[in-house]
Amino acid sequence: MSALDLKETVHEIKRTAEIVGVFSKYGLEDLFDRTGLTKRFGVPMGLGPKHSRHGQTTAPEKLRLALEELGPAFVKLGQFLSTRPDILPFQYITELEKLQDAVPPVPYREVRVLIHAALGRTVDQLFRKFEHEPVASASIAQVHLAILADGTKVAVKVRRPDIEGKITADTRIISELAKFLKNREFIDEIWRPTEIAEQFERSLKGEIDTRAEIANQKRFVENFAEATDVKIPKVYDEFSGDGVITMDYLDGVKLGKIIKSKGDRYPKKKIANIGAHAGFKMVFIDSFFHGDLHPGNLFWLEKTGQLGLVDFGIVGRLSEIESLALTLMLGGIVSFDSEKVLLGAETLNIIDSSRQAEQLRAEVDVLLDKYHNAALKDIRVAELVQEIFGLMLKLRIRLPVSLIGLAKTLVVVEDMAEKLDPDFSIFEFSKPYIEASIRRQVSLSKMLNKAGNSLLRTGQLVENLPEDLGWILRNLKNNDFRVKIEHQKLPLLVDRLVRSGNRLAASVIVMGLIIGSSYVMSSFRSLGLIGYLVAFVIGLGILIGTIRKF
């Protein structure tokens, strides 16, 4: 191990101890006590829910406070988990949604250096004018206004210095903690900590990768090229690079301000209509949607009557199968057809057994009956999504991450549209889009294309079958056929057996000490007493360890 690797390892150990300490400080030590991390890192006990100064707050509030104190990577982790109602109860989702990227801006002198390093030219060479103070600042990047040599007004998004290194260090620790938690007995299988950690890491890397964000933004520009009422800022390649994105400046009013405004100063119903159309176009037509929609990322451009969208670091994509499944499930909900909902779930291949399918059908029937007599305008997608995810948790069915992100997007679209237009109904609005998507999915050209692809796959299977069979038979004949089995809870079982063996060995030692001490008491009283004392200490340790397990 090199000196650099050793230094990183020492830093990670210290940081992990700090993380465990912060969670313990906020009365969440019970989790780490059960994992054994508090003992491993020597974190002092006694700051739990009964003793912590945060004992009066709820568990979701404690979690949010702990994540805020731990810094940007953990704030991002909390924000990521707030989009996962498939694994967290809604009281946690609601609390984690409050997490904000409140950070002081990077000084202009550092911004100037970052731009020079990324683009190879100084700020003065690139721009006629460059505002020193940012108009927006977050944990990943900040935005400055500038003017190009030809007079074009632009927004320059600059990634914060060393954010990649800082976040990478913490995501590595999060991944290690996830591996440690993976096989703990109190961790539900539906959690899959390592998988969640990997998804979070991918999401965060995508968010700090400015080149990926530029590619996303260009795709949105292309997708909305013919939309006259939606504006996606054009990216200026000559003034953009690794860590810097220069784009059209959107001179508008943030949607958050419009939502809070009183009176008829803004055409709220029109804005709600444009926003909903844009959202459903992304989902049902483009299968490529904005993954971080909120009022701060939408602007109303009064001069042109357009709705502007910004910040394309987080996006969602739907595969052809996911798009079909979504269409079937939403179509089933709109038409109160549980069979169609079940067909959509089966299309995703997330149903493990016929028993699970029957359970899902029965639960969906109950859910749809609840809404059957209600008008579509009275059904709120937020409530429905909450019930559906609760149902999926109950039946231990895992939805694809892309559909979970999409559900979150639809909830946000509904919330913003209803605040602008109280008469807005997302299900009535979505019906034409769902019907058009179904027609597109079952069109003759689509079906012929699918049939052609299936025929090609079948041909490849038949062509490779003799060779594959020959390989299997040769390995069987040579006794070289191996079956790999991985038991998810096996490490836990091994750990239990090791601990049981240790306790048994300690018990035998105690018994030996007691018997031996009894023999020597008459001749060597002091030695006998020492033997009894050692046996008592070891026995007490075994007893405490056993009680703590309960």
Tell me the longest C-alpha to C-alpha distance in the chain: 104
Burial (CB count within 10 angstroms: exposed 0-12, middle 13-18, buried 19+), residue 539: middle
328 and 297 fall within a common domain: yes
List the single range of 71-80, 267-276, 357-366 with lowest mean pLDDT: 71-80
Position 182 in a domain? no
**Looking at per-residue confidence, does 420 or 478 come out higher?**
420
**Residues 186-195, mean pLDDT to the nearest whole number:** 59
Query: For residue 246, what pLDDT is reported?
Result: 97
Position 269 in a domain? yes
Position 177 in a domain? no
Query: Of 451, 482, 513, which residue sits at a domain end?
Result: 482
Position 183 in a domain? no
CA–CA separation, 95 and 141 (whole Å): 24
- Pair type for strands 306-309 and 230-231: parallel
Helices (H), 224-336: 255-260, 268-280, 320-334
468 and 501 fall within a common domain: no
370 and 330 fall within a common domain: yes
517 and 478 fall within a common domain: no
Structure tokens at 238: 């000559």
259 and 242 fall within a common domain: no
376 and 465 fall within a common domain: no
316 and 229 fall within a common domain: no
At residue 12, does pLDDT exceed 70?
no
Query: For residue 41, what pLDDT is reported?
Result: 46
Q: Which residue has the tokens 């089933």?
A: 332
Q: What does the pLDDT look like over 70-83, one tens digit per residue?
A: 877 788 888 887 77
The segment with the largest mean pLDDT, out of 408-412, 483-487, 527-531, is 408-412
In this prediction, residue 472 has a pLDDT band, given cuts at 50, 70 and 90, of: confident
**Residues 182-193, mean pLDDT to the nearest whole number:** 54
CA–CA separation, 309 and 298 (whole Å): 5
Give the DSSP H or E segment for 430: helix 426-441
User: Helix, strand or coil for residue 529?
Assistant: helix
Mean pLDDT of the chain: 79
CA–CA separation, 416 and 90 (whole Å): 19
Query: Of 202, 233, 249, which residue sits at a domain end?
Result: 249
406 and 289 fall within a common domain: yes
Position 375 in a domain? yes
128 and 55 fall within a common domain: no
Position 520 in a domain? yes
Structurally, the chain folds into a number of domains equal to 5
Position 178 in a domain? no
- Pair type for strands 253-254 and 244-248: unpaired
> Could you give the angle at the alpha carbon of 110 between the alpha carbons of 211 and 214, nearest 5°?
15
Position 469 in a domain? yes
At a CB cut-off of 8 Å and minimum separation 6, what does 48 contact? 24, 27, 29, 30, 33
CA–CA separation, 504 and 373 (whole Å): 64
Query: Of 453, 482, 511, which residue sits at a domain end?
Result: 482
At residue 37, does pLDDT exceed 90?
no
426 and 477 fall within a common domain: no
Q: What does the pLDDT look like over 495-521, one tens digit per residue?
A: 666 677 777 777 777 777 777 777 777
Candidates 324, 150, 157, 173; CA nearest to 242 is: 157
In this prediction, residue 128 has a pLDDT band, given cuts at 50, 70 and 90, of: very high
Query: For residue 69, what pLDDT is reported?
Result: 83
At residue 185, does pLDDT exceed 70?
no
Q: What does the pLDDT look like over 307-348, one tens digit per residue?
A: 999 999 889 888 888 888 888 888 888 778 888 888 888 888
Structural domain that includes position 526: 490-549
At residue 453, does pLDDT exceed 50?
yes
At residue 52, does pLDDT exceed 70?
no
279 and 387 fall within a common domain: yes
301 and 435 fall within a common domain: yes
In this prediction, residue 222 has a pLDDT band, given cuts at 50, 70 and 90, of: very high
